[in-house]
Amino acid sequence: MVVVLCGPSLLAVPSDIVRGILEPDQAGPGPTIYAYGLTFPTTDLAAHLGLWRPSAPPEARIILCERQPMRRAIHVDQVVSLTDVPQRAIQPLPAHFSGHERDWFAGLFVFQDQIVLLVNPVWMLRSETLVTSLEDGTVAEQDAAPDITLVGPAELTGHDIVELRRGSNGEDTTWRHK
Amino acid sequence: MRTRPGVTSKGSATWSLVIFSVGGRRLAARLEDVGGVWPWREPTLVPSRTPHVGAVLRQGHDFLPVYNLAGALNVEVEGKAPLCLVLKTNKGPMAVCIDETVPSMHAPDGGEVEPAAESSCPQIGTCRIGGEEVPIYSFRTFDEAPL
């Protein structure tokens, strides 16, 4: 799992859908990011979930996610860690939650004594109503995946993108950006 | 009179009630609906569209949903050291933040309990305690219960 901070909440994104991590200034302006020869529509996850935050902090990152044929570039406030989470440690959202949040989250687990919400990757990648970052920092809702326009950098070199690799010892790894 | 389960038309002398307060309002729950009381800890926010359910607490290996009863009643929890009241529901236990006043037990006489109308769920009745009408809440049928 890639554990990230979004507003006040710790969220987890399954690492098998993460293609890379960018700093915001590497992504350039616009609603899409072009990397690995692919386009990634951007989504502000905190805004999408209704999580309040004053502004993007210096530790903000963009996570490139892909599960064929869907792709998203997710804005988060901080990448906290890359960690293995055994399936048995993940519990479903309590049944008292009966709204859209049941689509948003696949479960929750404890990481370093804090509760982490596991984002449902299918919802995140397939969601039909997206909140997409605009160039002025505001967000706007879209009813469907946008027509992709290459307004981001035409090319990102390999060393600009942080690729995820699992450590050999299998231990939790506090994220460090090279 | 049609009554809710556990409440007879004449009240019940067999009930035991837990009296607690939220925002200075005295409320009651049946003892069998209460799973425990302990100091309140800050819960973890869960983005949610379920009314008044937007956080979870850790309890051992389990996660307790938090029902914002104070918000549902349009009051604010009083005191610097609020308490966590665990209520049993048909979906499992859930936590409620209550005032720091330690809950007390009350065994009403039959005449003190007045069952509520069916439509007033989750209030299943009232209990007259010291001249005050204290509402009795039950969240056993949580789907029907939200205030």
- Residues A98 and B146: beta-carbon distance below 8 Å: no
Residue ranges of chain B with pLDDT lower than 70?
1-14, 118-121, 142-147
Are A95 and B91 an interchain contact pair (Cβ–Cβ within 8 Å)? yes
Give contacts of A 37-56 with B, CB under 8 A.
49-51
- Shortest distance between the Cα of A51 and any Cα of chain B, in A, equals 7
Judged by a CB distance cut-off of 8 A, whether residue B66 touches chain A is no
Selection from B105, B101, B117 nearest residue B126 by Cα: B117
Please give the sequence-ordered ranges of beta strands (E in DSSP) within chain A, or none if there are none.
2-6, 9-13, 18-22, 32-35, 38-44, 61-67, 70-76, 78-82, 105-111, 114-119, 130-133, 139-142, 173-174
What is the pTM assigned to this prediction? 0.77
ipTM score for this prediction: 0.84
Selection from B123, B100, B125, B135 nearest residue B22 by Cα: B100
Which of A4, A88, A96 is the mutation pick for testing B, counting most B CBs within 10 A?
A96
According to the per-residue pLDDT averaged within each range, which of A90-94, A158-162, A170-174 is highest?
A90-94
- Residues A63 and A74: beta-carbon distance below 8 Å: yes
Query: Mean per-residue pLDDT for A75-79?
Result: 92
Judged by a CB distance cut-off of 8 A, whether residue B46 touches chain A is yes
Instruction: Report pLDDT digits (tens) over B81-114.
Output: 999 999 999 899 999 999 999 999 998 877 788 8
pLDDT at A134: 39
Judged by a CB distance cut-off of 8 A, whether residue A34 touches chain B is no
